[in-house]
Structure 1
Amino acid sequence: MTRIKEILKEKGLTVNQLADMLEISRQALSKQIQGKMLVETAQRIAEALDVPMWQLFASPEEVKGEEDKNTITCPKCKTRFKMEE
C-alpha cells in the first residue's frame, strides 16, 4: 500500500491533478496507485509530488520521524522548511 493519496491530501492536490502532471489518465494512475507499480512510475510520482520515493511506501510514523525539531511547515502550502543557525 502506498501513501500517495495521503501525500496528495497533504499537498492539497487531487488524483486528477497528479494525473495531469504526469500526462496520464486518472484511470491509469488509479490502477498504478492501487496495484503493482513500476519503479519508473514511482519515481515520476515522487518527483511530481516533490518527495523522496521512499515516502510513497513508508508508514506515517516513519515519515514523521524524518521531521526534526528544526523543521517548520507552512500552514498554507504545506511546504517544509529546515531552519539553520
Structure 2
Amino acid sequence: MIERLKIKEAIKAHGMSVNEVSDKMGISRFTLSTHINGNPSTEILLRIADAIGCPVSELFGQPIEKNASISCPHCGKPITIKAE
C-alpha cells in the first residue's frame, strides 16, 4: 500500500495557511510548497507537523491499494491488476 500525503488538508484543518506554516518553519512559501507537492523528507514532515501542532500521522491520508481487481467481462472471474 502507498500512503497519500494530505499536508494541505492538515494545515487547513488546523486553521492555518501555507504562509503561516512557512513563517513558523523559517522557510519561504515556495520552498514549503515544493515540499508539499514533492516527496518531503522525514525531517521536513516532522517540522511541518511541529509547526501545525499535530502528530506526523495526521499528514497522511488513507492508504492507497497498489493492487486493484476487476471482473472479466466474459466469464466474471476476478482479474487482479498490480501496480509496480
TM range (shorter): 0.5 to 0.7
Larger relative contact order, structure 1 or 2 (CA cutoff 8 Å, min sep 6): 2
* Cα distance in 2, alignment partners of residues 13 and 40 from structure 1: 20
**What residue number does 2:70 align with?**
none
* Cα distance in 2, alignment partners of residues 36 and 24 from structure 1: 17
**What residue number does 2:17 align with?**
14
Paired residues for 1:22-33 under 5 Å: 22-33=25-36
Code of the residue aligned with 1:51 in structure 2: it is: C
Identity %: 39
The structure that is helix-richer by fraction is 1
Q: TM-score if structure 2 supplies the norm length?
A: 0.65
Q: Is residue 57 from structure 1 mapped to residue 43 from structure 2 by the alignment?
A: no
Structure with the greater alpha carbon radius of gyration = 2
* Cα distance in 1, alignment partners of residues 17 and 28 from structure 2: 13
Query: Runs of 5+ in structure 2 lacking a partner?
Result: 63-84
The structure that is strand-richer by fraction is 2
Q: TM-score if structure 1 supplies the norm length?
A: 0.64
Alignment length (residue pairs): 59
Runs of 4+ in 1 over 2 A off after TM superposition: none
